[in-house]
Amino acid sequence: MSKVVKYLVVYPLLFIINLIDSCINCCKRRDARYKQLPTKKPFSKPVKIGTDSYSYMSCMTDKLERITNPNSNIYVEFTEAARKHQQIKTMGVRAVLSVEDQVQSNGKVFKKYNMDKEYKWTTYQEMLLKVDRLASGFLQIGIKSNDSVIIFSETRAEWLMSALACFKIKAVVVTLYATLGIDALTYGINETVATTIIASGDSVSKLKKIIDKIPTIKNILVLTDAFTPNCDSLRSDIKSMNIYSFNELVEIGKTSNSESNYERPVPSDLAIIMYTSGSTGNPKGVMMTHGNILTARKSLIKRFGTFDKNDSYIAYLPLAHIFELLVEMSFIIEGVSIGYSNPLTLSDVSTAIKAGDTGDIKVLKPSLLACVPTVLERISKGVKDKISKESDLKKILLETAARKKLRKVKQGKSSVLMDKIVFSKLNEALFGGRIRLIISGGAMLNRELQEFCQVHFCTTVQAYGLTETCAGGTTQFPFQTEVEEVGSVIGSCEIRLVNWVEGNYRVTDKPNPRGEIWIGGDNVTLGYYKMPDKTKEDYHVIDGIRYFATGDIGEMLPNGSLKIIDRKKDLVKLQGGEYVSLNKVENVIKLLPMVSNCCVIADPKKTYCVCLISPDVKKVEDLISTAHVELELGQKVQVGRRRSLDILNEFIDILEKNKNWKDKFNKDIFDHCKKQGLETFEIPTKCRFVKEQWLPETGLVTDSLKLKRKEIESFYKKEIEILYS
Ligand SMILES: *[C@@H]1O[C@H](CO)[C@@H](O)[C@H](O)[C@H]1NC(C)=O
Ligand SMILES: *[C@@H]1O[C@H](CO)[C@@H](O)[C@H](O)[C@H]1NC(C)=O
Ligand SMILES: *[C@@H]1O[C@H](CO)[C@@H](O)[C@H](O)[C@H]1NC(C)=O
Ligand SMILES: *[C@@H]1O[C@H](CO)[C@@H](O)[C@H](O)[C@H]1NC(C)=O
Ligand SMILES: CC(=O)N[C@H]1CO[C@H](CO)[C@@H](O)[C@@H]1O
């Protein structure tokens, strides 16, 4: 029956839809939004060709884009936008009306929110007024130009308003994201000698624990919420500091105006110190100027075509990351309205949303979405699960339609009718039905995921940039559908590929130039706060252009798209955005007696790492001869008088085949690493013994027994694939 339907109904139907789409494409002109985008490849052009480096720039410009107005700053650009858009809605918030506890069947208690039915909006004019009052409030409580103000809060509307108020009076915003931990917060406050901290109700509880260690702090500005509706209890808990709620400070700012007591920032003035995790120990504060942010945002926004007042953006990624900060700054200046959300209430199935209630995204119905790959992974997994539960017929329909659409996507063509008939319901169920552009950043997006999003959701592009370059780097254009590449150079940047001889990457490589990626331009930040040596190591000025050496290895494709192919430093960023320092993890695993050497492999397209272990033959032999092992492995390994290596090889084979043993092996390593203080994401999920001893003559290690990672990875390609399967 289903076969008959398949051949007589589904296939012919999709065939016809596809055919109609092809006809539509024939007479369709380019999307008007993309009118200003280039059409001819290559999208990056070579500008300087040397023997040890090649430089590339955007094909959209002849010289690096810069901020030319010497009096420009972020606040001034915002006021210009506010004047232009006046009554247009800018920031939307969906209020939490009340909170209730819901006991799950397993005894766990989840907090569930009763949410407002809709978003409440602030217009540009109202927002500007609030920012101005806040700035005046800041001045009145004693904040001066050059002072540091810490923002320690999840993403919300008050975050951006507070930052803009700081920018107005040339106070420096210091950002620290919550996952950096409480020690990092103490460190950041101490290092920047901050006097004021802006924290959400939730983060204030963390602050209480370190109150004795942060003597420089005089003021706490509390962003109240449903859990902390006012500051009364805080005031009685913390007597040594002045505590204000956001609204109280706006109120203070209303009463009097101290307009003249502050300096106006210029492009070269420091705007933000953004802390990111360091490879070891303390976090590093990246210093960004007003000019950095303005140049980067201007070049970046141009890459995605034009926006209109129907566009809206849903904000939920942490603003303490450059990616979200820059995207929001760009949209707010562009007149795109921003609806605030957070991971707890984003979708219908988010933890704080009650069964049957609607998540933020479907209330807002955004047209623009910024994502990190893990979020996309989660969404697409949900969709795949749903599809797998559908009837056979529907499954066949969806899968065949997806195949046909992917072919069109690859040709850069649209599938208007197919979308309408097959995919629009999905779009509606997930995003409210208006989504048109997903920008993915923060980590590399793998092929399957990007293709899945392009087919089932909408245009999905990758962007590549770092905190140190103020998110500047490369992006794909919305009409580009290639996968596994990060697009072409943005207008304010120059990308320089530099030979890395030890890694065997050279700009003279065939077929394409390869090398370490250096990003240069006005958007390259000033360096690391109070770390002149580290700054000197990673930042370089050549011919008046400032570069940041990223440590990423890139290959420039003939059509001007950059592809990231390797990583120079031993620091790898996993799909979830966490950094794993390979060396650090290896040093911990090497403490185990059975380990003679080991190599942690962290594929940036995956969420976890794995590890290859070259065993200590003697110790393994001892292990095998213990009674405990013999019971399990029984007669299989006869220690007797055989050569150690043979025993070892047989042992490894048996270990590989025995799931219980393998699990125990992995668990022992996990427990050991945990005890040594590694974070869960740093610990290899799967480990495996290899049969070889890693000696210099094998070519797998250097003469000083340092790992040659590339060689190891290619030698054990098969084993690594198995570990990651
Ligand atoms: C802020 O710093 C600049 C440059 O270091 C200095 O010229 C200025 O006087 C400082 N302003 C205040 C209010 O300390
Ligand atoms: C703060 O920094 C100073 C040096 O600048 C250091 O001596 C002190 O121990 C630090 N305090 C804390 C609590 O980290
Ligand atoms: C905005 O959307 C409305 C209704 O969908 C449409 O009529 C209007 O043309 C759109 N405006 C712009 C500027 O695209
Ligand atoms: C660039 O070229 C590579 C190989 O030459 C190709 O796979 C890719 O699709 C091209 N990308 C663009 C943007 O044309
Ligand atoms: C806007 C901005 O910060 N521009 C800086 C870019 O870098 C050059 C030197 O590398 C500085 O002189 C500019 O001030």
pLDDT digits (tens, 9 = 90+) for 219-256: 999 999 888 888 888 888 888 899 999 999 999 998 87
Alpha helices in 210-359 (DSSP H): 232-237, 246-255, 290-302, 322-334
Token look-up 């390979």 returns: 582
- Considering only residues 236 and 175, tell me which one the structure prediction assigns the higher pLDDT: 175
What residue ranges line ligand 5, CB within 6 angstroms? Answer: 67, 267-268, 289, 291-292, 522, 541, 546
Q: How confident is the model at residue 257 (pLDDT cuts 50, 70, 90)?
A: low
Query: Which of the listed residues 143, 146, 290 should we mutate to test ligand 1's pocket, taking the one with most ligand atoms within 8 A of CB?
Result: 146
Mean pLDDT value of segment 124-147: 95
Distance 146 CA to ligand 1 centre (A): 6
pLDDT of residue 630: 45
* Domain parsing of the chain, residue ranges: 74-266+303-340, 574-723
Nearest C-alpha neighbor of 254 from the set 82, 131, 80: 131
pLDDT of residue 255: 83
Distance from C-alpha of 633 to C-alpha of 627, rounded to nearest angstrom: 10
| Protein residue closest via CA to atom 13 of ligand 2 | 213
Distance 145 CA to ligand 1 centre (A): 7
Q: Which CATH superfamily is domain 574-723 in?
A: ANL, C-terminal domain (3.30.300.30)
Q: What share of residues in the chain are helix, strand, coil (percent, to 5)?
A: 40, 25, 35
Number of Cβ within 10 Å of residue 159's Cβ equals: 25
DSSP state of 559: T
**Cβ 412 under 6 angstroms from ligand 4:** no
Which ligand 4 atom sits nearest the alpha carbon of residue 559?
1
Reported as a single tens digit per residue, the pLDDT across 23-60 is 888 877 788 888 889 988 899 999 988 889 999 999 98
The H or E element that residue 124 is part of is: helix 124-140
pLDDT of residue 1: 54
Distance 310 CA to ligand 3 centre (A): 6
Reported as a single tens digit per residue, the pLDDT across 343-371 is 899 999 888 999 889 999 999 999 999 99
Does residue 178 have a pLDDT over 80?
A: no
pLDDT of residue 640: 46
- Considering only residues 550 and 503, tell me which one the structure prediction assigns the higher pLDDT: 550
The strand pairing partners of 339, in sequence order, are 92, 314
Q: Which CATH superfamily is domain 74-266+303-340 in?
A: ANL, N-terminal domain (3.40.50.12780)
Distance from C-alpha of 142 to C-alpha of 136, rounded to nearest angstrom: 10
Mean pLDDT value of segment 117-125: 96
Does residue 10 have a pLDDT over 60?
A: yes
Reported as a single tens digit per residue, the pLDDT across 415-460 is 889 899 899 998 999 999 999 999 999 888 888 899 999 999 999 9
Distance from C-alpha of 578 to C-alpha of 607, rounded to nearest angstrom: 9
Distance from C-alpha of 516 to C-alpha of 497, rounded to nearest angstrom: 5
DSSP state of 28: P
Q: Per the structure block, which two tokens stand in for 725?
A: 């399967």
Q: Per the structure block, which two tokens stand in for 706?
A: 């340092």
The strand pairing partners of 602, in sequence order, are 609
Pairing mode of beta strands 571-573, 562-567: unpaired
Which amino acid is present at 496? R
| Protein residue closest via CA to atom 3 of ligand 4 | 557
Q: Which residues contact 562 (CB under 8 A, 6 or more apart)?
A: 44, 464, 474, 485, 486, 487, 488, 489, 495, 517, 554, 555, 556
Q: What is the distance between the terminal CA atoms of the chain, rounded to a whole angstrom?
A: 36
Report CA dihedral (381, 382, 384, 385) to the nearest 10 degrees.
120
Distance from C-alpha of 223 to C-alpha of 549, rounded to nearest angstrom: 38
Mean pLDDT value of segment 630-649: 54
Distance 309 CA to ligand 3 centre (A): 8
pLDDT of residue 642: 52
- pTM for this structure? 0.83
Reported as a single tens digit per residue, the pLDDT across 592-633 is 888 888 999 999 888 899 999 998 887 777 766 654 444 344
Token look-up 């490879």 returns: 279
Distance 662 CA to ligand 4 centre (A): 42
